[in-house]
Structure 1
Amino acid sequence: MDERDPAMELVHLLRAVTVEFDLLGAEFAARHGLHPTDVRALIHLLDAARSGTRATPGWLGEQLRLNSAGTTALVDRLERLELVRRSRDTVDRRRVLLEVEEKATRLGWAFFGPVIDEVVAASDDFDAGELATVRRFLTSVLESTRATRTP
């Protein structure tokens, strides 16, 4: 495939953005004594809260592709750092739910807030139709990427 093809240019730009976000995540993890998987766990838990998903340790393990022992160690570590808390599900008391603590949210905004502000400001240069196109494209890329991963 021709490297100058507009579609390939998008692939390379997406890869570059992914690398930059990965580097930011690694810097955040290092600064706060976290493992990169800890950061991914926090992101999954924040996304779950935003979407109304009741996050359990089992659910988190599936998202991260960790076994039960690995998930327990991860949650124990995040709980010790006061970034996540376990609570009993009020509907099913046998179930444990995971929630991100305010401390984690504060740390995240303090570190990632400036880049989020820059991304939001960059979106101001696009009209509603352009943003809808970008959203549709990124959603399609996300779905196709997820579909190619081995379960």
Structure 2
Amino acid sequence: MVHLLRAASVEFGLRQAEFAAAHGMHPTDVRALICLLDAARAGENATAGLLSARLGLHSAGTTAVIDRLEQLGHVTRTRDDADRRRVLVRVSPEAVRLGRAFFGPLLDGLVELIGTFTPAERATVRHFLTTARTALTP
């Protein structure tokens, strides 16, 4: 099962690299967009510090990623209304549209596949993926 998980991760990484190449990005830029989207989905305020921690980059590397994504129109930087010293990084609607156009069919296929599983099977898969992620997180 570990080998299958790794193989699925490699395939998803290849799709990310294809998306990056098609849109003039570095693969790390795509990972950054995913981190930002995950933060938004979780209701977290995304800052350069959060992105740095999640990507394992130093501050200069994180700034370079955000600068590239901002220049491409994929993210915006805005002052946090609650703390004007803090800058929030958000994915632009255009980047969401591009991601959905590319990854949507893949994700829709996975959702359809998951729909064929029983509730117990989905719970087992969720448990495995959740604990695998925990085991892989330093």
Q: TM-score range by the shorter chain?
A: over 0.9
Matched, 1:136 2:127: yes
Q: TM-score, normalised by structure 1?
A: 0.89
Q: Partner amino acid for 2:116? A: D
Kindly state the Cα deviation for residue 73 of structure 1 after the two structures are TM-superposed. 1.3
1:84 aligns to what?
A: 75
1:13 aligns to what?
A: 4
1:73 aligns to what?
A: 64
1:60 aligns to what?
A: 51
- Counterparts of 1:121 and 1:68 in 2: how far apart (Å)? 39
> How many residues of Structure 1 are paired with residues of Structure 2 in the alignment?
138
Q: TM-score, normalised by structure 2?
A: 0.97
Q: How does 1:29-68 map to 2 (within 5 A)?
A: 29-68=20-59
Find the partner of 2:14 among 23, 31, 37: 23
1:109 aligns to what?
A: 100
Q: Partner amino acid for 1:43? A: I
The 4+ residue runs of structure 1 with deviation greater than 6 A are none
> Which stretch of structure 1 is more off in the superposition, 24-33 or 68-77?
68-77
- Counterparts of 1:63 and 1:33 in 2: how far apart (Å)? 22
Q: Which runs of 5+ in 2 are unaligned?
A: none
Kindly state the Cα deviation for residue 12 of structure 1 after the two structures are TM-superposed. 1.3
Deviations 1:32-87 (A, max 9, x none): 01000000000000000000111111111111111111111111110010000000
1:3 aligns to what?
A: none
Percent identity over the alignment is: 59
- CA RMSD of the aligned region, Å? 0.7
- Counterparts of 1:76 and 1:83 in 2: how far apart (Å)? 10
Deviations 1:1-52 (A, max 9, x none): xxxxxxxxx1111011011001000000000010000000000000000001
Higher RCO by CA contacts (8 Å cutoff, separation 6 or greater): 2
- Counterparts of 1:112 and 1:88 in 2: how far apart (Å)? 30
- Counterparts of 2:53 and 2:7 in 1: how far apart (Å)? 27
- Counterparts of 2:26 and 2:65 in 1: how far apart (Å)? 9
Q: Which runs of 5+ in 1 are unaligned?
A: 1-9
